Every structure is written in C-alpha cells, then in structure tokens.
C-alpha cells in the first residue's frame, strides 16, 4: 500500500553553464546527469567514450556531496577553499562552491499529474532494457502518493494510451499494466511523447506538478524523426508548464536529443546501465525526477583585487576576466550541486585576504519569491613553506573527479588522433590519482572508478599493440634501447602528459 512519498537526498541533472559580462551571455554547455553512467557502460563494453557525450559538470555532480542542509532558506551556499592558507608569493588557489536544497515535507510537495511514456519497440527486447523498465516503474511506485494522477502511454510503430490518467491508489494497477508490456516494432518516439504531453495537458492543474517521464532506448525511426522538430514541439508544452524528464537505456539512443528535451523541460536526464543505477534513480532519489525547490539558479563569482579566475567546472578554456555569472540547473528538494573555481592570486601581504565574493541568486519555488545569498571567501596569507592548493580533502576529492572527466575527454581526442600510447598514458595516470584519493578518503566509489580506468587501459592497450606491435609502456617498463658498451646509460624518462 502506498501511503506517502519518500524523501531522500538526490543528485540529478547537471549544470547549465553560461557566462555573462554585464548583460552579454556566452553559449552554454550541455547539462544533466547521464554522463557518468553512460561512460561507465561504454568502457565496460570495451569501447571508447566519446568526448561529445561526456559533460564534465554533470559527471562531477553525479557524485554524492555532504553539504549542510539549509534551515531558513530553500537553498544553502557552502564555500570551501582548497587551502585556508595562501603563500605570501601568491599562486594557485581553489574554491569549491556548494549548493544544497532543503528537503521537503510531504505537505510541501504538490501532487502529480504525470504521464509515463514507455518505449516498447523491438530493440527493447534485451535483458538490460525492458526488464529494467519494469523494475524501475515498480521501484518508482514507492515514491508515489495515493492522490497522484498517473497515465501510461506506450509506443512502437504507433502510440497508445493504455491507461488514461487516474489516481494511484494502492498502485497495483500501474504494476499490472507495465508487467504486460511486450517489445516489438519500430520507434515512433514523437507520437509517444506528444500523446503523453496531450494527456497531461488534458488534466492540467496549476495545483499539481504537471510532468512527463520518457523512457527509451532508441532513435526515432518512424513518424517524425527530425530531432529539431521533436524538441520544438516538446518546447511548446514546456512553455505551458508541463515539464519533462528523460531516461535512456542501451547505447543507441539519441543522447543529444534526450539531453535537450530534459534541459528545456526543466527535468532530469539519466542513463540506466545497471540494476544499481536503476535503484539510485527510481528508488533512492525519486524526487529529482518530479519535484523542484529552486528555479532560475545562478552564481555570480567576483574575484578580489589581485585575483583572477583561471578555470571553472564545465568551461573549456580560460573564462572571461572580471565578474562571471554561472547559470545553474533548477534544483530539486534535497539535491546538491557543486562548482569548482581555480584562481590565481598575485603576491600579497601576510594576514587575512579575500579571494572572491560569491553571490547565489534563485527563485524559491515554494514561497514564490526571489532570494539572494552573498558570502566572501577568505584565506590567511603566510610565509610558511610547503603550500598545497588542494590541501583540503573534500576539495581534492571533487577536483580529482572533475579531472577524471576532463581526462576521459582527452583520451578520446588522443584516440581520434591515433595517439594510442598517449591515450593509454592518460588512463594510467587517472587510475593512479583515483587510487590515491580513494585511499585518503576511503570512498568506495572512487576505488570502483580506479578499477574502471584499469579496464579502460586494457581496451587502449589493444590499440597500442595493433599500432606498435608491443604492449603499452608504463613508467615501470622503460622503452627498450640498443645496448651500450662500457658504462650503462639510463634510458631517457618518458614524457608525462598533463591533463588539463
């Protein structure tokens, strides 16, 4: 019997990053949460992760954070320098910007007006697809309230409304309807999605959370197949207040389209590659799919005098000089977001010094009002030696995760250039860093990621072997040289590639 919603910490979507100087904004990067799980599945299948599908900000925000929950506001702002001490000569400094949304009480959560749109085309007939969909829906039932309204739409060559919107009740009818699904036919994604939107629109209620959740493994191949047309027609419903979350399965779906649909629909985008990931999305953290706490979220970072911004999560290249505005995703109840800023400070005097001021702006979606929080970041300037800009273990952990994502993108670039040994070198270095930080933090997920990078090296090693006729050369295996007569001469050290 379903009696109330479950409320647990959620990590959903990714960052939508853009920069503005004055009122001039630059192009945003793609957001959401699928990059980590999708890259894991690609590596496990023995393939190369595409740089285009690996979005650094969402990769970082896949991981759980431990920011304090706000008490009097919908969002809390947590600032953490990489080292609270800065040398008098200046240098590199990191600032971690953490956002934490307040968890919701059941009375604060609007009841749902939801359509589940489920792909049942022939390609769904695989152990990691339709069975996962059915398990996912059963898990999702635990988060539904008795007074939520749910409709079920299925599609293959055509779309069918198999259950019009009705109250959940005990939920048994949803499980029974989904259990009867059998795969077959082509993928008319457009008709399925539009039918789901129309059903939610038919029962639209401003007092409810009006939303569609799309589950698919494929690329639209019948009916309307143009991605721009699908996105444009979906946007028309989004602008009327019907939100959209997307779930991808398998490896053949249109990642760019599902990402765009979720972004404009102010919803989540996930990739399901395992039963563990299914539980994370649908059982442990269901509210990220359906309930938001804050909208129009942005951070304004103002470096102090003598300090400049060098790098920011998800932005390629050096950011513009001066104050920078970062547009973030809408934040669900209980969710967190993290953003990392790398700064360079000029030499200064000993004593307390301001690195930057951070301003958080957002709309409290429960109170329907604009909120602003402004906090400075201070460090103590010292003449002490042995400075480490990543002295703080939490900041080191998140920087390592971010550099892993950046390194995976670099591996694809090197692979495309047929520089297989260099690609292997990067994978080796990433594994070593992950193992060291896993040892320091005791975090199981980072140890698993190190194991994943070890298996990635095996994939890259086959390319090195095909190109050179020998296995990759690791630091423990110096390159063979011709012998020398007389005193032995050491083999020159192999160059190290810096992962930016």
Can you tell me the distance from the alpha carbon of 78 to that of 70, in angstroms, rounded to the nearest whole number?
10
- Whole-Å CA distances, 452 to 38, 485, 499: 13, 43, 18
Span 8-18, average pLDDT = 31
Can you tell me the distance from the alpha carbon of 244 to that of 229, in angstroms, rounded to the nearest whole number?
16
Please check the confidence at residue 281 and state whether its pLDDT lies above 60: yes
Which of the pair, 207 or 218, is modelled with greater confidence?
A: 207
Q: Give the confidence band of 288 by pLDDT, cuts at 50, 70, 90.
A: low
User: What would the DSSP string read from start to end of 267-293?
Assistant: --EEEE-SHHHHHIIIIISTHHHH-EE
- Chain centroid to CA 445: 15
Please check the confidence at residue 304 and state whether its pLDDT lies above 90: yes
CA diameter of the chain: 89
3-class SS shares of the chain: helix, strand, coil, % to 5: 35, 25, 40
Query: Which residue, 463, 195, 238, 200, is CA-closest to 330?
Result: 238
pLDDT at 429: 96
CATH topology identical between 110-290 and 393-468: no
| Domain 393-468: assigned CATH number | 1.20.58
Q: Which of 108-117, 171-180, 277-286 has the least mean pLDDT?
A: 277-286
Please check the confidence at residue 47 and state whether its pLDDT lies above 50: yes
Q: In a 3-state reduction of DSSP, which class is residue 5?
A: coil
Q: In a 3-state reduction of DSSP, which class is residue 152?
A: strand
Q: Which of 21-35, 38-52, 281-295 has the least mean pLDDT?
A: 21-35
Span 62-89, average pLDDT = 93
Please check the confidence at residue 485 and state whether its pLDDT lies above 80: no
Architecture of domain 75-104+293-382: Sandwich (2.60)
Q: What percent of the chain has pLDDT over 70?
A: 85
Tokens coding 241: 């207040």
Span 377-403, average pLDDT = 95
| Helix axes 444-468 and 420-441, enclosed angle (nearest 10) | 160
pLDDT at 33: 59
Query: Which residue, 398, 256, 286, is CA-closest to 11?
Result: 286
Classify residue 414 by burial, with Cβ atoms within 10 Å: 0-12, 13-18, 19+: buried
3-class SS string, 65-104: CCCCCCCCCCEEEEEEECCCEEECCCEEEEEEEEEEECCC
Task: Please give the radius of gyration of the chain, using alpha carbons only, rounded to the nearest integer.
Answer: 25
Please check the confidence at residue 1 and state whether its pLDDT lies above 60: no
Please check the confidence at residue 350 and state whether its pLDDT lies above 50: yes
pLDDT at 85: 95
Can you tell me the distance from the alpha carbon of 228 to that of 86, in angstroms, rounded to the nearest whole number?
49
Q: Please state which of the four CATH numbers 3.40.50.2300, 3.40.50.410, 1.10.3720.10, 3.40.50.150 is assigned to the domain occupying 110-290.
A: 3.40.50.410
Q: Where are the alpha helices (DSSP H) in 143-207?
A: 172-179, 189-202
Can you tell me the distance from the alpha carbon of 410 to that of 246, in angstroms, rounded to the nearest whole number?
28
Please provide the average confidence, as pLDDT, over all residues in the chain. 83
Spatial contact of 218 and 177, defined as CB atoms under 8 Å apart: no
pLDDT at 285: 52
pLDDT tens digit string along 109-153?
Answer: 788 899 999 999 888 888 878 888 888 888 888 778 899 999 999
Span 158-164, average pLDDT = 92
Can you tell me the distance from the alpha carbon of 481 to that of 478, in angstroms, rounded to the nearest whole number?
9
Domain ranges of the chain: 75-104+293-382, 110-290, 393-468
Tokens coding 229: 């047309």
pLDDT at 466: 93
Span 227-248, average pLDDT = 89
Please check the confidence at residue 415 and state whether its pLDDT lies above 80: yes
């Amino acid at each position: 019997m379903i009696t109330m919603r479950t409320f647990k910490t959620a990590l959903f979507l990714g960052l939508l990053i853009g920069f503005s100087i004055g009122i001039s904004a630059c192009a945003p990067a793609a957001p959401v949460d699928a990059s980590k799980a999708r890259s894991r599945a690609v590596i496990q299948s023995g393939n190369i992760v595409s740089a285009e599908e690996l979005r650094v900000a969402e990769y970082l925000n896949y991981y759980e954070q431990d920011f304090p929950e706000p008490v009097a506001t919908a969002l809390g702002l947590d600032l953490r320098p990489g080292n609270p001490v800065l040398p008098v000569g200046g240098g590199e400094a990191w600032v971690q910007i953490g956002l934490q949304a307040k968890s919701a009480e059941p009375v604060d959560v609007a009841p749902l007006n939801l359509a589940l749109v489920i792909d049942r085309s022939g390609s769904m007939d695989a152990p990691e697809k339709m069975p996962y969909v059915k398990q996912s829906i059963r898990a999702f039932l635990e988060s539904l309230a008795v007074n939520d309204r749910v409709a079920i739409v299925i599609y293959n060559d055509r779309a069918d409304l198999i259950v019009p919107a009705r109250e959940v009740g005990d939920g048994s009818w949803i499980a029974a309807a989904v259990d009867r699904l059998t795969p077959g036919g082509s993928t008319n994604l457009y008709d399925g999605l539009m039918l789901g939107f129309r059903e939610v629109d038919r029962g639209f209620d401003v007092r409810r959370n009006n939303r569609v959740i799309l589950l698919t493994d494929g690329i639209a191949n019948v009916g309307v197949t143009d991605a721009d047309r699908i996105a444009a027609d979906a946007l028309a419903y989004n602008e009327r207040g019907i939100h959209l979350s997307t779930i991808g399965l398998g490896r053949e779906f249109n990642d760019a389209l599902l990402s765009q649909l979720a972004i404009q629909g102010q919803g989540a985008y996930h990739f399901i590659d395992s039963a563990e990931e299914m539980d994370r999305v649908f059982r442990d953290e269901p509210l990220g799919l359906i309930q938001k706490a804050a909208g129009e979220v942005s951070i304004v970072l103002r470096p102090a005098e003598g300090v400049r911004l060098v790098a920011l999560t998800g932005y390629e290249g050096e950011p513009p000089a001066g104050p920078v505005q970062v547009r973030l995703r809408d934040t669900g109840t209980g969710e967190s977001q993290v953003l990392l800023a790398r700064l360079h400070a000029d030499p200064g005097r000993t004593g307390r010094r301001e690195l930057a001021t951070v301003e958080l702006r957002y709309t409290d979606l429960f109170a329907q009002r604009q909120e602003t929080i402004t906090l400075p970041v201070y460090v103590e300037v010292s003449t002490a030696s042995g400075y480490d800009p990543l002295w703080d273990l939490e900041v080191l952990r998140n920087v390592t995760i971010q550099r892993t994502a950046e390194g995976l993108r670099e591996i694809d670039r090197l692979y495309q250039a047929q520089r297989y040994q260099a690609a292997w070198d990067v994978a080796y270095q990433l594994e070593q860093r992950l193992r060291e930080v896993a040892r320091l933090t005791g975090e199981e997920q980072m140890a698993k990621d190190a194991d994943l990078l070890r298996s990635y090296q095996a994939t890259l090693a086959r390319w090195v072997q095909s190109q050179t006729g020998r296995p990759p050369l690791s630091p423990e295996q110096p390159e063979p040289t011709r012998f020398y007569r007389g005193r032995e001469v050491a083999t020159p050290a192999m160059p190290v590639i810096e992962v930016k």
